[in-house]
Amino acid sequence: MEKPYILHMLTTAKNLSPFDVNMAMDAGWVSAIPYINVEASEVKGLVQDVIFSRSPKGLKNTGIFIGGRDAKQAMDMLKTAKNSMVPPFEVSVFSDPSGAFTTAAGMIVAIEKELDEKFNTTLKGKTILALGGTGPVGQAAAVIAAQAGANVRIIGRQLEKAQRIAELCNDEFGEGKISIQAGADADKAEYIKTADVIFATGAAGIELLSAELIASASQLKVAADVNAVPPSGIIGLDAFDNGKALANSTSGAVGIGALAIGNIKYQAQSRLLKKMINSEKPVYLHFEHAFEVAREFIKSSK
């Protein structure tokens, strides 16, 4: 008798995301078991309880999902989980804190699509501003874009925090191979003058890009916003906009709204959850893999 598909879902928060549970079940996992308020020190024990409860064959129908709200913590927990395996007792693990990794991947792929179709160019060499970029979505998006060859600057209300996050992205997530910079929100009017791409990844309901700032962005090509809660993070941008001309732009820039990004995010998360089920060998998935499958989705939909 085949073992049922069980996904053990770990989160450092007090609640597991219902969104993630629905996604898991729709992707083919029969049971999604929650573990809440998980501390980093508990990951090894939980993982080894998972792997030693089934035979290596039965473990093919077993997986671990890591949620939470902190990108570094989620990546650290993923590493701990991987290091806690005892082959052949090993399962797949997927880290996506607050959906940040798949959301970031969806946004960057949507931007790539517009750069290609509207401007016949790529991310390579482009100047990108990540407004409100100190959170998990901004961090992951900044790293993905930098790895694709863009020059990225994370903008935050406090310069010291933005600098700390930029260093984290470079050293931890980018393994010292990228060079993301930092900037203060008070100076964004100056940075925007030379920006090719802007993404707004701040808190819901906060406008980060005004009509005046858009008009001053003489090189701007694409602006994207992950905030679906009114008011938009980018003035005049509707959540459903997908490559629509951006109001007030003097450079012919287009905008991408949160729900347009969300469609790609949904596809990326679904594909990775299915990859855990279908892979012959254990896989360890995070923002880089989300970017890969998001690109595959866009390519297949052309």
Examine the domain organization and report whether 79 and 109 are in the same domain. no
pLDDT at 297 (0 to 100) = 97
pLDDT tens digit string along 1-33?
Answer: 688 999 999 999 999 999 999 999 999 999 999
Q: How many domains does the chain have?
A: 2
Q: Tell me which residue of 199, 79, 193, 78 sits closest to 142, measured CA to CA.
A: 199
Looking at every residue in the chain, the average pLDDT score rounds to: 96
pLDDT at 279 (0 to 100) = 95
Residue with tokens 């053990």: 8
Which of these three, 60, 79, 95, is where a domain ends? Answer: 95
DSSP-assigned letters across all residues of 88-123: TB--EEEE-GGGHHHHHHHHHHHHHHHHHHHHS--S
* pLDDT value at 245 more than 70: yes
pLDDT average, residue stretch 269-289: 97
d(CA 19, CA 215): 37
d(CA 68, CA 17): 9
Which of these three, 42, 67, 95, is where a domain ends? Answer: 95
**How far is C-alpha 168 from the chain's CA centre?**
16
**Domain containing 166 — which CATH number?**
3.40.50.720
Which of the four pLDDT bands, split at 50, 70 and 90, describes residue 139?
very high
pLDDT tens digit string along 157-177?
Answer: 999 999 999 999 999 999 999
* pLDDT value at 291 more than 70: yes
| Residue 276 placed within a domain | no
Q: Which structure tokens are listed for 167?
A: 């260093």
Q: Which structure tokens are listed for 146?
A: 């930098």
| Residue 244 placed within a domain | yes
| Residue 141 placed within a domain | yes
Determine contact, residues 44/80, Cβ cutoff 8 Å: yes
pLDDT tens digit string along 215-226?
Answer: 999 999 999 999
| Residue 166 placed within a domain | yes
Continuous H helices in the chain: 18-27, 43-51, 71-83, 100-119, 136-147, 159-168, 188-192, 211-216, 258-278, 287-301
| Residue 10 placed within a domain | yes
Q: Which domain holds residue 184?
A: 103-261
Which of these three, 71, 95, 119, is where a domain ends? Answer: 95
* pLDDT value at 229 more than 90: no
Which of the four pLDDT bands, split at 50, 70 and 90, describes residue 120?
very high
| Residue 277 placed within a domain | no
pLDDT average, residue stretch 232-240: 94
Examine the domain organization and report whether 145 and 17 are in the same domain. no
Examine the domain organization and report whether 55 and 187 are in the same domain. no
Examine the domain organization and report whether 78 and 153 are in the same domain. no
Determine contact, residues 166/180, Cβ cutoff 8 Å: yes
* pLDDT value at 43 more than 70: yes
| Residue 217 placed within a domain | yes
Examine the domain organization and report whether 118 and 247 are in the same domain. yes
pLDDT average, residue stretch 24-53: 97
Examine the domain organization and report whether 166 and 205 are in the same domain. yes
Examine the domain organization and report whether 178 and 82 are in the same domain. no
pLDDT average, residue stretch 96-101: 96
pLDDT average, residue stretch 261-272: 97
Q: Give the containing element (helix H, strand E) for 148.
A: none
* pLDDT value at 69 more than 80: yes
**43: helix, coil or strand?**
helix
Which of the four pLDDT bands, split at 50, 70 and 90, describes residue 204?
confident
Examine the domain organization and report whether 109 and 76 are in the same domain. no
| Residue 289 placed within a domain | no
Examine the domain organization and report whether 224 and 251 are in the same domain. yes
**Domain containing 39 — which CATH number?**
3.40.50.10280
Examine the domain organization and report whether 221 and 252 are in the same domain. yes
Examine the domain organization and report whether 154 and 192 are in the same domain. yes
Examine the domain organization and report whether 223 and 158 are in the same domain. yes
